[in-house]
Chains A and B, each alone.
Chain A
Amino acid sequence: MSRAGGDQVAALETPLATVPQSSVPPAPRPAAVRPVLDIRGLSISYRTRDGDVRAVSGVDLALMPGEIVGLAGESGSGKSTLAYGSCRLLRPPAVITAGAVNYRGRRVGPEGVSVLEQSPAQLRALRWREIAIVFQSAMNALNPVLRIEDQLFDVIDAHLSVSRDEKLERASSLLDLVGIARNRLKSYPHELSGGMRQRVMIAMALAVDPEVVIMDEPTTALDVVVQREILSQIVELKERLGFSVLFITHDLSLLLEVANRIAIMYAGQLVELGTSVRVHRYPAHPYTRGLLNSFPSLHGPRRELAGIPGSPPDLRNLPPGCSFVPRCGFATDACRNIDMRLAPVEGELDPDHLSACPFVLPDSQSASTIPDGAK
């Protein structure tokens, strides 16, 4: 994995039909701030003998400059597929069946580039330089037979032409950035602890100054104290370097702390999107409420944990209407006929708080037990 964005990661080479700009719904935000990564109507299927598995269907998600967007959902909800698909890191049988992904970085001009229409050579230039990824489980993402320094050099060489001294300086300052001693450049991955390896992965993602960093469960295998250190480091680096983060995790309690906005994914679709504060305090979708009620809290009063009954649906064979119906406590017959679509939550003060459930409205008393005094 050292040749990040290199040949190892095969591109999804199938060219895509262009989605005409006019058919794209207007962005919810004012035009002054334009998203750095704009995913519109993205659908991705895995072609299997037993039919298509619709891992992602019709997802709209925009990442603003300098923002951390959290993407939460259970295993198999399609969150990693969405992230990898949006930089075309999936190989067949995954097929992007519809949608558009627009990247507008400072280095690529105001109109941006359509990621899904890039040639393989253009994609190589785009990946890591513009959109970098911190892969899940750093234990396996580093090459065990290469020193840290060589793996960092690889990334730098692939995208910049700099002298050896500059390269060394850059690699050393990257380690400084993530709080690892410079002499660790000569170390092999097995000589580092799990937290340090994860930091090296973050340093590697930041090696050529990308504008978007996708973090796929960056702290899952780590224990709480280390996890906390890494999270505050990510937030701090983001403030300092100004990149945007798409943060994928199944742990909503983490996201509420780290992310500016949170997107909740269920069965390949976004079911709720809003700022962390609104999602935490006024969760609208029943699935979000279930997630919020399924982790034990350490702070505050002990509360009854409800969890979510049942298991995720079979993506080959989704029920009509809302796919959460079989597990939902609020489900009625009307739910089987609705179109899963994000819409502003009725009665919400924040027009950017979207939910796919038109029936259940936020109820500050039901899902969260925040005392009134809490910020």
Chain B
Amino acid sequence: MSGELRSAAESCGPLVLEAVALQRDYRLGHGRRAPVLSAVRNVSFGLYRRGVVALVGESGSGKSTVARLLAGQEQLTSGAVRLDGMEVRLRHRKTFRTYKHDVQMVFQDPFASLNSVHTVRYHLERPIRIQRGTKGRAAIEEEATRLLSEVELTPPEQFLTKYPHELSGGQRQRVAIARAIAARPRVLLADEPISMLDVSIRLDILRLLDGLREHLELAMLYITHDIASARYVADETLVMYAGEIVERGPSEDVTQQPAHPYTQLLVASAPDPDALGGSLRMGSRVVAGQTGSALSTVVGCRFSPRCPFADEQCRREVPPPVRIGEQRVAACWHLELAAPHVVRDGAGADSSPVSTEFNKNLG
């Protein structure tokens, strides 16, 4: 358990994009006394070719801000973004444009991310022309058709002339994905790509993304609030709370044996059909509390107001990341209380469910 933390996605391929100690502060109001909100604080991780890293957290935890920082849509307060080991200066217009060849984004809401006055053809033509420099109408048309069949919108000729309002949510998201891969990127940042879609369609889109990752050798960042889908999609899962990464590790380990109390809360909150309402009806209210505050005035662990294990130390000092395995880290003062078996067994062969312990501790 010594040396550098090894990412669970590392075995998938070489490192492509690296986030190094990303920080994004927003000053609320004017003047020097104005409070500062650190939407993202000291976030580091790597995206590896053919690997998927999931970023999980509640609304307001800063997960979308991380994606926007990586996509260059938001300015870093401090930290760095490295592409192939070279730091990228995203504020330079020219570097930004070349960067966009490699890093593309899929947004959450396919109803808002496509321009409703333009056809599908227009949406696809622009990246083909601008990012790839393809010239000639026939060549562009051919490429657009190919992209549409790649995202399984068939027959492609029919979809080229359609407007977004003529498409269903799932079809729109496919167009948005086609637009993202039109630049032939090496990194795809997917910001809640399925949360606005119907349950029955989500799986198709996830499968499509997975197929593209394999086939185009993409490094993918998958942002979601649904930790269950992270289990199925991602190699490595990072759990964010109030702007900080509180736990990271291989997806299966993080979801099956969550170590940080917040991860345990997320896991306990996910719908569990097999429980058939047991957890709701027995009156075990999982938690009461508000979303985490990312204000700089908060001292100590940001999760402490909601945490059943919190004590004086938690409210006073920020917990350091603790190694609990070759590929796992959790930032908590009381891991031995919150997840005794995880700490004991390191990466953990013990499979006793933690969520029930969490409920017990609350009750």
Give chain A residues whose Cβ lies under 8 Å from the Cβ of B279.
257
Contact of B286 among A225, A253, A290, A375 (CB under 8 A): A225
- Asked if A298 is at the interface (CB within 8 A of a chain B CB), the reply is yes
Q: Are B225 and A193 in contact (CB under 8 A)?
A: no
Contact of A299 among B272, B276, B287 (CB under 8 A): B272
Give chain B residues whose Cβ lies under 8 Å from the Cβ of A294.
199-200, 202-203
Contact of A229 among B59, B225, B255, B288 (CB under 8 A): B288
Contact of B199 among A222, A251, A297 (CB under 8 A): A251
Q: Are A223 and B273 in contact (CB under 8 A)?
A: no
- Asked if B291 is at the interface (CB within 8 A of a chain A CB), the reply is yes
Max count, chain A CB within 10 A of own CB: residue among B227, B268, B269: B269
Q: Are B276 and A236 in contact (CB under 8 A)?
A: no
- Asked if A302 is at the interface (CB within 8 A of a chain B CB), the reply is yes
Q: Are B277 and A298 in contact (CB under 8 A)?
A: no
Nearest CB in chain A: distance from B254 CB, A: 11
Hey, what's the 0/1 contact readout for B282-302 against A, CB within 8 Å counting as 1?
010111101100000000000
In the assembly, what is the distance between CA of A290 and CA of B207, in Å? Answer: 15
Report the nearest B residue to A75, measured CB to CB.
Answer: B198
Give chain B residues whose Cβ lies under 8 Å from the Cβ of A375.
275-276, 278
Nearest CB in chain B: distance from A237 CB, A: 12
Q: Are A224 and B225 in contact (CB under 8 A)?
A: yes
- Asked if B274 is at the interface (CB within 8 A of a chain A CB), the reply is yes
Name the prevailing secondary structure of the B interface residues: helix
In the assembly, what is the distance between CA of A15 and CA of B228, in Å? Answer: 48
Contact of B168 among A223, A295, A302, A311 (CB under 8 A): A311
The answer to whether A296 and B231 touch (CB under 8 A), given A193-B291, A225-B58, is: yes
Give chain A residues whose Cβ lies under 8 Å from the Cβ of B281.
235
Q: Which of B222-248 contact A (CB under 8 A)?
A: 225-229, 231-232
The answer to whether A257 and B286 touch (CB under 8 A), given A224-B266, A250-B198, A250-B199, is: no
Give chain B residues whose Cβ lies under 8 Å from the Cβ of A254.
271
Report the nearest B residue to A235, measured CB to CB.
Answer: B280
Q: Are B276 and A225 in contact (CB under 8 A)?
A: no
- Asked if B204 is at the interface (CB within 8 A of a chain A CB), the reply is yes
Nearest CB in chain B: distance from A201 CB, A: 18
- Asked if A346 is at the interface (CB within 8 A of a chain B CB), the reply is no
The answer to whether A307 and B276 touch (CB under 8 A), given A253-B271, A296-B231, is: no
Give chain A residues whose Cβ lies under 8 Å from the Cβ of B58.
223-226
Q: Are A280 and B273 in contact (CB under 8 A)?
A: yes
Give chain A residues whose Cβ lies under 8 Å from the Cβ of B278.
375
Give chain A residues whose Cβ lies under 8 Å from the Cβ of B270.
224, 298-299
Q: Are B269 and A225 in contact (CB under 8 A)?
A: yes
Nearest CB in chain A: distance from B72 CB, A: 26
Give chain B residues whose Cβ lies under 8 Å from the Cβ of A225.
58, 265-266, 269, 286-287
Give chain A residues whose Cβ lies under 8 Å from the Cβ of B325.
none
- Asked if B156 is at the interface (CB within 8 A of a chain A CB), the reply is no
Q: Are B231 and A311 in contact (CB under 8 A)?
A: no
- Asked if B62 is at the interface (CB within 8 A of a chain A CB), the reply is no
Q: Are B285 and A277 in contact (CB under 8 A)?
A: no
Q: Are A229 and B286 in contact (CB under 8 A)?
A: yes
Report the nearest B residue to A308, measured CB to CB.
Answer: B200
Q: Are B286 and A228 in contact (CB under 8 A)?
A: yes
In the assembly, what is the distance between CA of A307 and CA of B277, in Å? Answer: 24
Give chain B residues whose Cβ lies under 8 Å from the Cβ of A236.
283
A-B contact pairs, 24 of them (CB 8 A): A75-B198, A194-B59, A225-B265, A227-B269, A228-B269, A251-B271, A252-B199, A254-B271, A257-B271, A258-B277, A258-B280, A276-B277, A280-B274, A292-B273, A294-B202, A296-B226, A298-B227, A298-B228, A298-B270, A299-B274, A299-B353, A299-B355, A302-B232, A374-B274
The 9 lowest CB-CB distance pairs between A and B, nearest first, are: A307-B203, A256-B273, A298-B228, A228-B269, A253-B271, A296-B232, A223-B225, A298-B270, A224-B269
Known pairs A250-B199, A256-B271, A307-B203; list 19 more (Cβ under 8 Å).
A74-B199, A75-B198, A194-B59, A223-B58, A224-B226, A224-B270, A225-B286, A229-B286, A232-B283, A232-B285, A232-B286, A235-B281, A250-B200, A292-B273, A297-B273, A302-B232, A305-B232, A307-B200, A308-B200
